[in-house]
Copies of this chain bind each other. A is one copy, B any other.
């Protein structure tokens, strides 16, 4: 049994040895994805898609609580439409897929497959918004988008990926700003409470902001290998797109005004973040709220009389949870390893001796802690334990984030911290593009965000020594 298990586990590379390979191994061995023959695209398999369905369910409910309505806009953008906003087209045109023929005929104008839908929503809003009574518009769509990336990795970067993109239009800049921050808070709340992923909330620098945005807010998470991952973004466009697309409304003052717009998105890369924040050398570790299966019942010596019946009864007592039972004839060791690889938060082991004593064993996936439990108490104990696991997973991830967040008072400390990737470094910045470029060039590090929670670490920029204006989180990112 021990050997069998070892064999299965040994199929994945140790994360300490090669984190990148460990990540890929987990994606494949836990059945989340398979590479497809369409270069740069992946198949999201049932175990992977079930996670996305739960992400959608939780996030969509949060969106709707804030008044968001879902829509569906076309997947094609005519080239002339993409070109209307100058910064936006510069940002995206180099990486879109172009459709040139429909059926047997060449198109009069080529279309790209949406890399993001600002231009389509602008085109739509232009027809829908006439008066202040038509505002605000608070819409979202769940769809796939295409960006012709050169290097791809499961969930983190692929030529096609799934996401939601919210697009709103407002009467004033203040209202747009409020929505931009509101949605960033929705993402942070979702990531922290449902995905157990602690995040740093802040603003992107001018260099790192979204193509066409006035400003971009971000939630940044720290992976187990101490690299940063931008986990969701929210953009305030001001009236830039409105001016490019001529989206105007008649105000209460009977004059025409441009609208102010926002957009915000979260993608399937969140699944990658979950893997890299919580996973370990046995495979996935799923936060209970997002786990497609929360608890699995595994009978031991299942041929012994009564064991299967007892396991079945325990399973049936768990119908308040996303529960399963493994009745295959594979060995318990194999089943345990599989439960661990798939990151199922709790397994219930029930064998003949336990059964006679009216007990069974619960095993936590996250800590691998085992505990005895009276059979009658299983549902209550599982409920409690799922809550505990969810909290503990967040707390461990938060402790990791805190332990790998460093302070650099000056250039020497900054440099010292980035000899290798150790996590986030907080440091003061003068605000100029040159210093940001220099940091990228010299240390291969990018600004992750200007956090909402500012601290004054020193008076001067760590690079140029001029007076500092902001404290910034720096890091190496996925």
Determine, out of A35-43, A221-229, A312-320, the stretch whose residues face the partner at the interface.
Answer: A35-43
When all copies of this chain in the complex are counted, the total is 2
Contacts of A52 in B (CB 8 A): 72
- Tell me whether B37 and A81 are in contact (CB under 8 A): yes
Which A residues fall within an 8 A CB radius of B?
34, 36-38, 41-46, 49-50, 52-53, 69-78, 81, 94-104, 111, 113, 120, 123-124, 127-128, 139, 143-144, 146, 148, 159-160, 162
Please report the C-alpha to C-alpha distance between residue A245 and residue B237 in the assembled complex, in whole angstroms: 48
Nearest-neighbor residue (CB-CB) of A109 within chain B? B39
A257 to chain B, nearest CB (A): 22
Name the contact of A143 in the complex, choosing from B38, B128, B144, B146 (C-beta under 8 A): B144
Contacts of A100 in B (CB 8 A): 98-101
A38 to chain B, nearest CB (A): 4
A211 to chain B, nearest CB (A): 15
Name the contact of A46 in the complex, choosing from B69, B77, B99, B127 (C-beta under 8 A): B69
Q: Take A37-B123, A103-B148 as given contacts and tell me if A50 and B72 are in contact as well, using a CB distance cutoff of 8 Å.
A: no
Please report the C-alpha to C-alpha distance between residue A120 and residue B102 in the assembled complex, in whole angstroms: 20
12 contacts between A and B (CB under 8 A): A36-B74, A43-B73, A43-B74, A43-B124, A44-B71, A46-B71, A46-B139, A49-B70, A52-B72, A72-B162, A97-B99, A102-B159
Contacts of A146 in B (CB 8 A): 75
Contacts of A143 in B (CB 8 A): 144
Name the contact of A72 in the complex, choosing from B44, B78, B111, B159 (C-beta under 8 A): B44
Contacts of A99 in B (CB 8 A): 97-100, 113
Contacts of A111 in B (CB 8 A): 38, 97
Contacts of A70 in B (CB 8 A): 46, 49-50, 53
